Structure 1
Amino acid sequence: MDPNLTSNHFLSLPRPDASVGTPAGVPDTTTLAAHDFDVDTRTGFMPPQPPIARLPPAWESWEAALDEAIRLQLQLGHTPGLPEDEIAKSESWRGRVRSLPILPITDLKRSELYLRRGHHVLGWILHFYIHSLPPNASIVIPPPITLPLLQISAQLQLPPVLTYSDDVLYNWALKKPLEQNGVPALDNLRCLTLFTGTKDEEEFYLTSSRIELKGVEALELMQVIMDETFVGDDIAIRRITQYLTSVATVIQDLRTMLLAVKEHCNPDIFYHHIRPWFRGVDSDPNKRPWVFAGIEEDPSLQEPTELSGPSAGQSSLVHALDIFLGVDQYSHASSVTGHSSSSGKSAFLDRMQMYMPRHHRTFLNHLSANPRPLRAFVEGSKDAGLQEAYNAAVLALKAFRDAHMIIVALYIIGPSRRPAPAFAASAVSAERLDIQKDYHVDTLKGTGGTELVNFLKDVRDRTAGAVLPPA
């Protein structure tokens, strides 16, 4: 077991070969070790302790380069009328990045926590470097970033680009220290790294962090429901009915928390001043390729093919809800992927699992292998109350996706129609934005590269299609 992974085991799921070596009809409760999942009983997919905030001194030059980018308040290279001194300041910083030593990662491999921090730091430097470039400049990532970032990414089995885990899961600290073994309060979080230093950007990331922490309640309910499905008697059906009602309530709370981002994150500031920093290749309006200079120096490295950038579609919590409720065959089967069918890329939500921490992918794969899926159990029970509770949970998930549509209308569609403001608030009403009738929004790209509106509408509608008809 990796001593740097301290999460507790969460879900007890039979292995796919549960029937081997066990009496007929008796489920094998053998489970994967805790480090195979890295899902904590208190914090879910968030780490149970705050992520480390700095690498050891051997890699201080990376940390210093990131600190400097933040201190200099680098500006987006495509900013209209960007003053010459800002252009020169950005190029001077990029020059110092190009002159960094190429640091080995051998000792980083001894610690998962150090590897995560390395990916975080280099990923943020990468995005500062790329998005501070003039809009007509070629994107050539220098070897001091290319080699260690690709090597760390290979170890973590992640793309060499910022991911949801870099922005959310491993980008937080505590405002006030916790008591021993305490659970972080939702209002006791702050971000480690920001592009703009604004409250708007911090609130955008922390909204997802709070959703992840609240989602622990859903994970707990999933565990007890699966235990009950293996009993399967009338008492178990009554308990599952109650638990599913609670699952629906938790998902409704997640929806409320998602919409609460409106309280502290200004839509125009987000769209014009924050969002461009973390976009990947797929959402670059200029379609510029990313050239990783120096990759040939390490024959073990491969040219990256996944460079989408962070997306809410990389949240393991939402995928877990999809899989557990059995709606993934509907929501993940969307034909709207943001890519042509000839591209060879899988459906977007399945592809986004490649951007998740590998232990969380193991968790989702193990959850998918549950030999007694909930949806099949509900269908086979012919119990009207159980079916009603199941449908309530599915409809709550659909309502969560409705809320996502509202956020898209407020934070992307609306600002896309307006010129970039200075850092000042402006009142916008999501209710005034009719995404069904807007004639040009279908071409808007999500940070993951999807044709945003069509994709979200399709996933939302397919989730609703998972509702079971009356028994």
Structure 2
Amino acid sequence: MSDPRRPFSLDRYHVSEEYGFVLPDPLTELPSYYKPWMDIAQNLPDLIQAGVLRSRVRAMPLLDTHLLGGHRELRLAHLALSMMTMGYVWQEGESSTVKVLPRNLAVPYWDVSQRLGLPPILTHADGVLANWRKKNPEGPFDMENLELIATIPGGESARGFFMVTLLVELAAAPGLQAIPRVINEMRHRSTAGVTNALEDITQALASMTEALKLMHVYVDPAVFYSVMRIYLSG
């Protein structure tokens, strides 16, 4: 039980002051042992278009997940396995989905999911929060300087869906930082402190709304509904 006398903090919830819920500096490569996963996950659209994704997945070796070390390696592994699973199930579209995954995909996917406490489906934590890198590491967080680690069919619209959602998450970060301030200022009965923190939350909400408007610029509605169907099908 937390000590009510100690200042409230988001640290124990793994929320970054700068990035909010977004994973800071996610890894883009796994150790070479896991190259069979990354080779497929990072070429998913081409493999699906060629109709060979399922055969490539079935030909993978069954890899041991215990060689994955640390949170960021596990997050990248979960992203790769989630993308492969999504592609394997939906390769032929709604008319020919599969109900059973091959053992060489299902076993490591379940193991990694259990270690992270995530479900074995493509989640927001995968497709958005841990699926980004900057083209120029010193450059800004904007649509021109961001790219995906792994993507789904849909070209620039698919990229736009994930990237705009990431920008919305980043815009929320100052608001998340203000939440502990609200709680701590309330404990000290500081009306001015609570007011200032709430103003920061209000500004963050406005920034999130502005970022969300980019969906109309970068995302074809058909791609949006396709992605949402994949999320909801989990």
Aligned positions of 1:77-96 closer than 5 A: 89-90=50-51, 92-96=52-56
TM-score normalised to the size of structure 1?
A: 0.46
Q: 1:39 to 1:175 in 2, by over 3 A?
A: same
Answering whether residue 229 of structure 2 is matched by residue 270 of structure 1, we say no
Map of 1:258 onto structure 2 = 212
Map of 1:203 onto structure 2 = 160
1:46 Cα offset (Å): 1.3
Map of 1:339 onto structure 2 = none
Answering whether residue 192 of structure 2 is matched by residue 238 of structure 1, we say yes
SS at match of 2:225: helix
Deviations 1:75-128 (A, max 9, x none): 4xxxxxxxxxxxxx42x43123112211111111x2211111111111101111
2:14 to 23, 38, 44: 38
Answering whether residue 28 of structure 2 is matched by residue 53 of structure 1, we say yes
1:17 Cα offset (Å): 4.5
Map of 2:170 onto structure 1 = 213
1:193 Cα offset (Å): 1.5
Query: Does structure 1 retain, via aligned residues, the 8 Å contact 2:42–2:149?
Result: no
Map of 2:130 onto structure 1 = 170
1:115 to 48, 58, 74: 74
5+ long unaligned stretches in structure 2:
none
Distance in 2 separating the partners of 1:271 and 1:262: 13
1:185 Cα offset (Å): 2.4
Deviations 1:243-269 (A, max 9, x none): 323322321221222122101112134
Q: 1:69 to 1:207 in 2, by over 3 A?
A: closer
Distance in 1 separating the partners of 2:36 and 2:135: 27
1:228 Cα offset (Å): 1.1
Deviations 1:13-69 (A, max 9, x none): xxx4426xxxxxxx233868x4x43221211111232x1111111111111222443
Distance in 1 separating the partners of 2:214 and 2:43: 32
Query: Does structure 1 retain, via aligned residues, the 8 Å contact 2:109–2:120?
Result: yes
Q: 1:259 to 1:99 in 2, by over 3 A?
A: same
* Root mean square deviation, CA, Å: 2.3
Deviations 1:261-300 (A, max 9, x none): 101112134335x555x345xx3xxxxxxxxxxxxxxxxx
Q: Rg: which structure is higher? A: 1
1:178 Cα offset (Å): 1.9
Size of the aligned set, in residue pairs, is 232
> Which letter does structure 1 place at the counterpart of 2:73?
Y
Map of 1:69 onto structure 2 = 44
Deviations 1:355-408 (A, max 9, x none): xxxxxxxxxxxxxxxxxxxxxxxxxxxxxxxxxxxxxxxxxxxxxxxxxxxxxx
Distance in 2 separating the partners of 1:168 and 1:194: 10
1:147 Cα offset (Å): 0.4
Answering whether residue 7 of structure 2 is matched by residue 29 of structure 1, we say yes
1:136 Cα offset (Å): 4.2
Distance in 1 separating the partners of 2:22 and 2:125: 9
> Which letter does structure 2 place at the counterpart of 1:126?
T
Tell me: higher relative CO, structure 1 or 2? Use CA pairs within 8 A at least 6 residues apart: 2
Distance in 1 separating the partners of 2:171 and 2:216: 18
Answering whether residue 141 of structure 2 is matched by residue 185 of structure 1, we say yes
1:229 Cα offset (Å): 0.8
> Which letter does structure 2 place at the counterpart of 1:42?
E
Q: 1:209 to 1:226 in 2, by over 3 A?
A: same
SS at match of 2:214: helix
> Which letter does structure 1 place at the counterpart of 2:186?
T
Distance in 2 separating the partners of 1:192 and 1:141: 23
Distance in 1 separating the partners of 2:88 and 2:108: 15
Distance in 2 separating the partners of 1:176 and 1:97: 32
Map of 1:105 onto structure 2 = 65
Map of 2:117 onto structure 1 = 157
5+ long unaligned stretches in structure 1:
1-15, 20-26, 76-88, 284-307, 309-471
> Which letter does structure 2 place at the counterpart of 1:256?
E
Map of 1:125 onto structure 2 = 84
Distance in 2 separating the partners of 1:253 and 1:136: 41
SS at match of 2:40: helix
1:204 Cα offset (Å): 0.9
Distance in 2 separating the partners of 1:198 and 1:137: 22
Runs of 4+ in 1 over 6 A off after TM superposition: none
Higher helix share: 2
